[in-house]
Amino acid sequence: MAEHRSKLHPVVTFLATGAYLGYAPVAPGTVGSLGCAALMWFLIPQVTPASSPLALGVMLLSVLAFVALAIWAADAAERQFGHDASKIVIDEYAGFVFSVLLLPKSLLVFAVAFVLFRAMDIVKPFPAKQAEALPGGVGIVMDDVVAGIYTNILLRVMLLVQGW
> Mind spelling out the 3-state secondary structure of the chain?
CCCCCCCCCHHHHHHHCCCCHHHCCCCHHHHHHHHHHHHHHHHCCCCCCCCCHHHHHHHHHHHHHHHHHHHHHHHHHHHHHCCCCCCCCHHHHHHHHHHHCCCCCCHHHHHHHHHHHHHHHHHCCCCHHHHHCCCHHHHHHHHHHHHHHHHHHHHHHHHHHHCC
* pLDDT score for 8: 78
Full domain range(s) for residue 99: 10-162
Count: domains in the chain: 1
Q: Does any domain span residue 5? A: no
Q: Does any domain span residue 3? A: no
pLDDT digits (tens, 9 = 90+) for 6-41: 687 889 999 999 999 999 999 999 999 999 999 989
Q: Does any domain span residue 81? A: yes
Q: Does any domain span residue 65? A: yes
Q: Does any domain span residue 137? A: yes
Mean of per-residue pLDDT scores for the chain:
90
pTM (predicted TM-score): 0.89
User: At 126, is the pLDDT very low, low, confident or very high (cuts 50, 70, 90)?
Assistant: very high
